[in-house]
């Protein structure tokens, strides 16, 4: 009889066992520690199903390790006699690493180290390794972030060769460089970014006449300085994107380019690609041009300055003179564009971003929410318009292109979401035609919960029901933005897909997009899309990990203090409580007083067996900070005041179930951007932070 085998990725548990989901069938198998065959978390393996025991989930054993995902680990070193052990930061790797005495590299007890795996071990034999880098003590400045950088495999320093190539490429703009370009140097143009931004890759301009807004979105022409398949290009492609961590930026391009000749610095001539759009008073884009240009930014502005100008700060309004009327027009146009997206059904998540303030040693001074403002929305709206316009242009030309796609949610996830919302007294509609939930229905829900105690929590659950946005050569639409065509055009300094798109645009504008180049792009774009999606996820994971660690280190200085928070998550092992400063911590179920609590999954509540006390999403709870784990970035809370909740969540009187409606049922923007530069917080489990711009 033929023995079935499947391929999948091994997900390890800290206790040694794990799970594998078969790529061929989607079925998930339990793998006992004795059957793991030395697999580490993340390894691609071949499994053979075992005879199913009654009442148990399917089981399997690993018969082959196809690809090792883990080549080295980051962890803490502990000497043991004449040898040592490294405890990995990532508990999912499952096992400690044995370090022979001659491979300890001089590491001291408690040192943060990087260890290369030399032997993956097996049944009864621990994996072995050697210390290849000592990062320092956990208390040393920057070691916490550096540990994440190493664990995620993020590249850091550029080679001397690349730095020299970047210096040579970063020559000042010459008259010859301007030939054939639209000269926009006399157009009033501003950049609007965060106060500490250095890589300014977008600028905007706006004029008005005969009831038409003439909007210019001007993007740094990075492709002019980074030739395809050059050493700089290969490095940029490998990195995929810049990574913005709490205490450092790991750029995609060397600073001579990213902060120098490619950055749209005020008062300096810069080469750009400009998307020039004519927009009417309904927010419709009537006409557009995409041109190679040369610009000179008049003013470099921050979001805070623009916001204060729009709010009427007289000193700033005098200081920025002629830019002020343009900014006021921009605010009006921004509202028109946003309203247009609302009308077609784009989903707008309005999560506050977290602002972590550090001192010179990387220690956390404060953690606070950072709300979106009219100034950040203004840039969001203009970047979204340019991205969508460029994508539509090349879609209808039927040329090879790199799209940003966000597919419809999986039916099972929206079904589960609907059942949960019903218990909260809300509903979402599905069309009976099989097309599932429309984005407008989700936006209607978000509008309805606005201002309620459960707003942030339900918003997160809606987000988690969605797929993750990614890059693709196929234009499959963007569900969250309710857009048929969308791309990333506006950040070529810090995203490789944008740089790749710029090359396609320039080839088209110069008449070079003939059969040979079309075949060339058809050949390379699928791999670019896949790799860029992977590096984006890697960057997101690193950014979230550093944020968690910095928050934990901040709370370490506030142990024993009492805070008020909102229950943001409920599981079988306890409650997650989010404080007003965005720090989230766990109240373990063993700390809940006065009863034995059971998890009611259908209602996302913990219910007391005897007292009937219930803890659910959206309730407020006073907690005391009791401990932190600064390595993994977790915070533990304990309830105070007897665990009494206050501010009970309110349920609408007209609570109705999750139901289906006709295809012509009621129909409606898109949200937080890293550095105020995007609008697509769509991803599995958390805000994507990919910066849709």
Domain ranges of the chain: 6-67, 72-137, 552-646
End-to-end CA distance of the chain: 56
DSSP single-letter state for residue 496: H
pLDDT at 672 over 50: no
Q: How far apart (Å, rounded) are the C-alpha atoms in residues 205 and 603? A: 50
pLDDT at 434: 58
Q: How far apart (Å, rounded) are the C-alpha atoms in residues 188 and 366? A: 38
What's the mean pLDDT in 323-351? Answer: 92
Name the token pair of 174: 């010459």
422 vs 688: which has the higher pLDDT: 422
What's the mean pLDDT in 516-531? Answer: 96
Q: How far apart (Å, rounded) are the C-alpha atoms in residues 111 and 57? A: 41
Confidence band, pLDDT 50/70/90 cuts, at residue 432:
low
pLDDT in tens, 138-195: 889 899 999 999 999 999 999 999 999 999 999 999 999 999 999 999 999 999 999 8
pLDDT at 373 over 70: yes
pLDDT at 693 over 60: no
pLDDT at 53 over 70: no
φ, ψ of residue 623 to 5 degrees: the values are -135, 155
What does pTM read for this prediction?
0.87
From residue 316, how far is each of 198, 324, 409 by CA, in Å?
22, 9, 45
**Equal CATH topology for 6-67 and 72-137:** yes
Closest by alpha carbon to 382, among 476, 510, 270, 276?
Answer: 276
Q: How far apart (Å, rounded) are the C-alpha atoms in residues 683 and 674? A: 14
Query: Please, what CATH class does the domain formed by 552-646 belong to?
Result: mainly beta
Confidence band, pLDDT 50/70/90 cuts, at residue 680:
low
Confidence band, pLDDT 50/70/90 cuts, at residue 54:
low
**Best CATH choice for the domain 6-67 from the list 2.40.30.10, 3.40.50.170, 2.40.50.140, 3.30.390.30:** 2.40.50.140
Share of the chain above pLDDT 90, in %: 65
42 vs 279: which has the higher pLDDT: 279
CATH architecture of 72-137: Beta Barrel (2.40)
What's the mean pLDDT in 307-314? Answer: 96
């Amino acid at each position: 009889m033929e023995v079935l085998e499947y391929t999948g990725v091994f997900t390890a548990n800290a206790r040694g066992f794990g799970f594998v989901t078969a790529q061929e069938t989607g079925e998930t198998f339990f793998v006992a520690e004795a059957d793991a065959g030395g697999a580490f978390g993340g390894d691609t393996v071949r499994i053979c199903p075992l005879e199913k025991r009654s009442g148990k989930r399917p089981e399997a054993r690993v018969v082959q390790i196809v690809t090792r995902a883990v080549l080295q680990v980051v962890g803490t070193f502990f000497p043991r006699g004449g040898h040592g052990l490294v405890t990995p930061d990532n508990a999912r790797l499952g096992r400690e690493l044995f370090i022979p005495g001659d491979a300890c590299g001089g590491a001291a007890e408690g040192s943060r180290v990087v260890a290369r795996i030399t032997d993956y071990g097996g049944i009864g034999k621990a994996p072995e390794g050697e210390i290849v880098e000592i990062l320092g003590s956990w208390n040393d400045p920057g070691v916490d972030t550096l540990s994440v950088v190493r664990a995620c495999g993020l590249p850091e320093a550029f080679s001397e060769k690349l730095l020299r190539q970047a210096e040579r490429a970063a020559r000042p703009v010459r008259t010859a460089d301007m030939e054939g370009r639209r000269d926009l140097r006399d157009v009033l143009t501003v950049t609007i970014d965060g106060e500490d931004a250095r890589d300014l890759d977008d600028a905007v301009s706006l004029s008005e006449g005969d009831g038409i807004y003439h909007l210019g979105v001007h993007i740094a022409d990075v492709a002019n300085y980074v030739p395809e398949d050059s050493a700089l290009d290969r490095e940029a492609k490998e990195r995929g994107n810049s990574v913005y961590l709490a205490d450092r930026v790991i750029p995609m391009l060397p600073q001579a380019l990213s902060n120098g000749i490619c950055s749209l610095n005020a008062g300096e001539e810069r080469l750009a690609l400009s998307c020039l759009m004519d927009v009417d008073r309904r927010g419709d884009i009537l006409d557009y041009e995409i041109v190679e240009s040369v610009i000179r930014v008049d003013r470099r502005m921050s979001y805070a300055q623009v916001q204060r100008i729009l709010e009427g700060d007289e000193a700033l309004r005098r200081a920025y003179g002629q830019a002020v009327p343009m900014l006021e027009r921009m605010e009006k146009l921004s509202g028109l564009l946003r309203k247009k997206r609302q009308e077609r059904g784009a989903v707008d998540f309005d999560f506050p971003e977290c602002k972590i303030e550090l001192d010179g040693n990387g220690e956390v001074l404060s953690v606070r929410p950072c709300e979106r403002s009219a100034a950040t929305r203004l840039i969001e709206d203009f970047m979204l318009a340019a991205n969508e316009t460029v994508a539509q242009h090349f879609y209808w030309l039927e040329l090879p292109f790199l799209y940003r796609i966000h597919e419809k949610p999986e039916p099972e996830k929206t079904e589960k979401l609907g059942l949960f919302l019903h218990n909260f007294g809300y509903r979402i509609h599905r069309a009976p035609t099989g097309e599932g939930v429309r984005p407008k229905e989700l936006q209607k829900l978000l509008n309805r919960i606005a201002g309620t105690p459960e707003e942030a929590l339900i918003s997160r659950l809606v987000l988690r029901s969605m797929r993750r946005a990614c890059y693709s050569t196929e234009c499959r639409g963007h569900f969250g933005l309710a857009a048929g065509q969308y791309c990333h055009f506006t950040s070529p300094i810090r995203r490789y897909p944008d740089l790749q798109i710029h090359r396609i645009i320039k080839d088209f504008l110069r008449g070079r997009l003939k059969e040979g180049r079309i075949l060339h792009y058809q050949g390379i774009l699928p791999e670019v899309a896949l790799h860029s999606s992977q590096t984006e996820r890697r960057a997101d994971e690193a950014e979230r990990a550093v944020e968690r660690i910095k928050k934990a280190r901040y709370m370490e200085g506030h142990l024993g203090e009492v805070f008020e928070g909102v229950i943001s998550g409920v599981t079988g092992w306890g409650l997650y409580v989010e404080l007003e400063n965005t720090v989230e911590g766990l109240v373990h179920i063993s700390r809940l007083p006065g009863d034995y609590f059971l998890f009611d999954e259908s209602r996302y509540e913990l219910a007391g067996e005897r007292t009937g006390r219930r803890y659910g999403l959206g309730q407020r709870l006073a907690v005391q900070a009791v401990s932190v784990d600064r390595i993994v970035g977790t915070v533990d809370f304990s309830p105070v005041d007897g665990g009494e909740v206050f501010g009970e969540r309110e349920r609408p009187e007209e609570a109705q179930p999750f139901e289906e409606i006709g295809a012509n049922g009621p129909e409606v923007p898109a949200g937080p951007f890293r550095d105020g530069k995007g609008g697509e917080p769509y991803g599995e489990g958390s805000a994507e932070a990919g910066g849709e711009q």
